[in-house]
Structure 1
Amino acid sequence: MITAKVKAVIFNETTLKSAEINVETYKGVVQLSGFVNSQAEIDTAVRLAREIKGVKSVRNGMERK
């Protein structure tokens, strides 16, 4: 359920439309991976994931293209 919510909020964020972000969740810990265009996109994705109810922490594995 958390994974779906994180994916939805990231997909609906206009600044992340070109990003290729994968989301996995285990016991409230969200792992973000994939490729984005800038550090700002990484920061935005992490912030959005942290705002989802039930997320205990966010691990960032995203890289800039």
Structure 2
Amino acid sequence: MTNRLTKLIITALLSTSVLALTGCASSTTTESTGQYLDDSVLTTKVKSSLIAEKNIHAGNVTVTTFKGIVQLSGFVNTPNEVLKAGEVASKVPGVVKVENDLIVK
């Protein structure tokens, strides 16, 4: 009886340990709370930089950030605005990469 109880306890402890370690694993599709806040700040900084740039009509530009990767989407008036927006976004500290999906109207 004691041997069986010992095996049961060991199995339970190992199972709990494996589950605990699995919960600590990093995911490529979700963010931690800290990363989400960092990305929110980064999004705000990129949007502010785009608005401050006089050669970009940023009103129709959407900025989203996931793990430091900034995505620009929406519409601008000229191909030059597409290029300039990508340049401005890439110069913001903390931006890892810019995915420029802007479309010329």
TM above 0.5, yes or no, is yes
Residue 7 (structure 1) aligns with: 47
Which stretch shifts more, 32-41 or 16-25? Answer: 16-25
State which of 77, 84, 89 in structure 2 corresponds to 1:37. 77
Alignment coverage as a number of residue pairs? 65
Which stretch shifts more, 29-38 or 14-23? Answer: 14-23
**TM-score normalized by structure 2?**
0.59
Residue 51 (structure 1) aligns with: 91
**TM-score normalized by structure 1?**
0.93
Give secondary structure in 2 for the equivalent of 1:14.
coil
Give 4+ residue runs of structure 1 displaced > 4 Å after superposition: none
The residue identity in structure 2 corresponding to 1:32 is L
Contact 2:51 2:58 in 1 (8 A): no
How does 1:16-35 map onto structure 2 within 5 Å?
16-17=56-57, 20-35=60-75
Contact 1:19 1:37 in 2 (8 A): no
Output one character per residue of 1:24-50: Cα deviation in whole Å (capped at 9) or x when no partner: 000000000000111100000000000
Give secondary structure in 1 for the equivalent of 2:55.
helix
Greater relative CO, 1 or 2 (CA 8 Å, sep 6+): 1
Structure 2's unaligned 5+ residue stretches are 1-40
Output one character per residue of 1:2-30: Cα deviation in whole Å (capped at 9) or x when no partner: 00000000011111136511000000000
Structure 1's unaligned 5+ residue stretches are none
Larger radius of gyration: 2
| Alpha-carbon RMSD | 1.2
- Greater share of helix: 2
